Amino acid sequence: MAAPQLTEIDHVAIAVRDLDGAVAWYQDMFGATVAHREVVERDGVEEALLQVADSYVQLLTPVRDDSTVAKWLEKNGEGIHHVGYRVADVAATLSSFLEHGGRAIDAAPRPGSRGTTVAFLHPKGAFGTLIELVEE
């Protein structure tokens, strides 16, 4: 059976040190609209989703020192942290990915922000890019 497809770009995630400052910059420079803002406790981050057509720019900042994004910012500085791809069914896409020998971070789908279901795939098996599968 053919592997389930990525249907759309859900978001491009950018790690920043100052979330309010980054949101204000996108508003001033591009008239950006904040579609959603949330502290995702499980990941130790706060996000602001800026609407770009049917997709988002996800500005991310750590809310805890032990957050994976805090560690990443320390090592890399600000920049693109991951790409979120929309899929119809995260569980089916993740199973197919694993069956094809892919390397996942999450063994099973889990809750993401704004009520989505997500699964992260490891950057080391994906050309250096952290991938988040997103089911709305």
Give the binding site for Co ion (CB under 5 A): 13, 58, 84, 132
Q: Which of 46, 81, 82, 135 is catalytic?
A: 82
Q: Which of 7, 68, 95, 96 binds ligand CMX (CB under 6 A)?
A: 68
Instruction: Based on the shown chain and the rule CB under 6 A, indicate whether residue 83 belongs to the binding site for ligand CMX.
Output: no
Nearest distance in Å: CB 112, Co ion: 7
Q: Which of 11, 46, 81, 135 is catalytic?
A: 11
- Of 80 and 99, nearer to Co ion (C-beta) is 80
Per rule CB under 6 A, count of chain residues that contact ligand CMX? 23
Whether the CB-CB separation of 57 and 14 falls below 8 Å is answered with: yes
* Alpha-carbon span 107 to 110, nearest angstrom: 9
SS (H, E, C) the chain: CCCCCCCEEEEEEEECCCHHHHHHHHHHHHCCCEEEEEEEHHHCEEEEEEEECCEEEEEEEECCCCCHHHHHHHHHCCEEEEEEEECCCHHHHHHHHHHCCCCECCCCCEECHHHCEEEEECHHHCCCCCEEEEEC
Residue type, 29: M
Interface characters, 2-41, with ligand CMX (x: CB under 6 A): -----------x--------------------------x-
Active site residue 5: no
Residues that bind ligand CMX (CB under 6 A): 13, 40, 43, 45, 58, 60, 68-69, 71-72, 75, 81-82, 105, 112-113, 120, 123-124, 128-130, 132
